[in-house]
Amino acid sequence: MAPQYIMAHDTAYEIPLQSGGAWGQSTRQADHAVVAMNDERDILIAYQTVRGDISNTGTGRNPFHESLRQVEIAFLDYDSQSGEWTLEDRVLVGSTDFNPLPSPYQDSVRCERPDVIAVGNRFFVVWTRRYDRAQTGQAEEPAILECAWVEWTGSALQIYNNSQSVGLGVPLDDDYKIRECAGVPDAVVLHPGDPNGSPPILPTVGVVYPHQTDFGDAPNGGNPDNTRLCELRLVVVSLNSSNQIPAPDSPFTLVSSIDFDGPTAPQGQESAGLILPDCARALPDPTTGAYRFWLAYEEQFGLINGVPDGRIRLGLLEQTATGWGVLDTHTFGASSSPYARRRPNISSFPEGANGDDLVSIAFSKTNTTGNDDVVYEEWQYDADEGLFKIPFEVGHVFENDGDDHTRPIPLHGRTTPFVRRLFVERNEATSQILDYDTESDDVTVRTSTTVELGRPAVSYWDGSGSVPDEVALTWEEQAQGVSFTRIWIRVF
């Protein structure tokens, strides 16, 4: 594929979609983008597109799945001489054309909600292959967690999926249910790999994702109780020297019996993704070398006087001899202070934290006027003091001014010089992506439109010394006069 464009620094570009054949219509919608920048400043963007041109002709077709989705990636190669990026390739990694469970009732299966992280000079992509809940025996909505590793060799983009067909990921869990939790995965680097170690260490990542255990309205019989429960699972994935993905160990249950109480969506309708785990890197234990990572997720306990009792959990987890344990946790929210708290996102940069265990967290909190405010904080773990909040500089705080601020994304960079930023979607007559810098206390509008934009995602590259840092920002945006959104990127 010939390069589609050269992307200059600090300029917004739209990612063009491939079309025709296995790709689908040129007018299909693209959304739910995530972005990662590797050690070489190369960029990989993963996103889903809607295949409205495919009809699921299986028995009892469910309108929920009439518009199937697929997962695509776009790779941009960095040129250190020009300081520009070239769009080198786009690949369909999660196709609708596979039925690996298999189901006798579906001709096509939906792939959606990817995550991507950089691991050294490689990338890791994970997504969910989701079956139709309206089909016989599928009321609890079975799913498969799939993944692939990606590497740019200098002339071609290699997809490592154990030599399977393009569009089919390596299965990590084929025995989980996601009817209303959506099974949204999040990946985190556990170790970038060390081929010269003794013994050598493989590039290794962890994937956290929710599995639903209680479905509230008892779709297979019984009395509905409007109680929904989920558990958070972790699967550890590596890449060996032959670029094969070894079969992972069985998933480990990190948290069980997570509540999401309240009215259940009727059959055929989709609830928003619940639980929504988000992970961030932490350095291994300095004494034992045990892997660690930060984890945040949401939980809902129904209504208190008509107000949703939503809480956010934050914790630091550590590998143990028998699995994984929690070093310490903090809960945002309580029954005495009910609010709708949603969409936690966390960020860390342990290499630049001067030996401290630091993490930034942001989430949405519905205010008294019905709009969303943003909570944005920094926390530290200490073996003696536990988990505690670190205040930002006095007077430097993101101002919730009454407008609707949603989907906050923290960016936690190096500590010296101090890099802490927050990206927020602002929904008013003009939709904007705001960039708040806690060091300068300034807000910069990174993009705006009078139509529609949203779902910001960021990746951070540490410039080190006098070399400036880089931030890759993606979002989805609808152009004037069309009904679909596209993925945009800007690096600054």
What is residue 269's three-state secondary structure? Answer: coil
Q: What is the pLDDT of residue 217?
A: 66
Reference 410, options 394, 424, 393, 391; nearest CA is: 424
The first and second tokens of residue 336, run together, are 């005495």
Q: What is the pLDDT of residue 263?
A: 52
Q: What is the pLDDT of residue 271?
A: 53
- Cα Rg of the chain, angstroms: 22
Per DSSP (E only), the strands in 204-336 are 204-215, 228-238, 252-261, 278-282, 292-304, 307-320, 323-332
Bridge partners (DSSP) of residue 69 are 50
Bridge partners (DSSP) of residue 318 are 292, 325
> Rounded to 5 degrees, what angle do the CA atoms 61, 62, 64 make?
145
Which regions of the chain are under pLDDT 70?
1-3, 55-66, 217-226, 262-273
Is the CA virtual torsion 355, 409, 467, 44 positive or negative?
A: positive
Reference 405, options 438, 375, 382; nearest CA is: 375
Is the CA virtual torsion 150, 463, 471, 461 positive or negative?
A: positive
Phi, psi of 350 (to 5 degrees): -65, -30
Do residues 426 and 404 lie in contact, with contact meaning Cβ atoms separated by under 8 Å? Answer: yes
CA pair distance 167, 15, nearest whole angstrom: 20
CA pair distance 75, 56, nearest whole angstrom: 30
Q: How many CB atoms lie within 10 A of CB 327?
A: 16
Q: What is the pLDDT of residue 268?
A: 42
CA pair distance 52, 400, nearest whole angstrom: 38
Give the CA count within 13 Å in the CB-facing half-sphere of 318.
17
Do residues 254 and 324 lie in contact, with contact meaning Cβ atoms separated by under 8 Å? Answer: yes
In terms of C-beta density within 10 A (0-12 exposed, 13-18 middle, 19 or more buried), how is residue 283 classed? middle
The first and second tokens of residue 62, run together, are 């469910």
Reference 184, options 455, 490, 477; nearest CA is: 455
Q: What is the pLDDT of residue 128?
A: 97
Q: For residue 39, is it left (φ>0), alpha (ψ between -120 and 50) or beta?
A: alpha
The first and second tokens of residue 299, run together, are 């939980």
Do residues 370 and 392 lie in contact, with contact meaning Cβ atoms separated by under 8 Å? Answer: no
In terms of C-beta density within 10 A (0-12 exposed, 13-18 middle, 19 or more buried), how is residue 133 classed? buried
Q: What single letter denotes the amino acid at residue 22?
A: A
Nearest 10 degrees: Cα torsion 58, 61, 63, 65:
-30
Give the CA count within 13 Å in the CB-facing half-sphere of 360.
26
The model's pTM is 0.95
What is residue 65's three-state secondary structure? Answer: helix
Q: What is the pLDDT of residue 60?
A: 43
Q: What is the pLDDT of residue 390?
A: 97
Bridge partners (DSSP) of residue 79 are 84
CA pair distance 370, 192, nearest whole angstrom: 43
The first and second tokens of residue 172, run together, are 């990590």
Q: What is the pLDDT of residue 404?
A: 83
CA pair distance 486, 269, nearest whole angstrom: 25
Kind of pairing between the strands at 252-261 and 292-304: parallel
Q: How many CB atoms lie within 10 A of CB 464?
A: 11
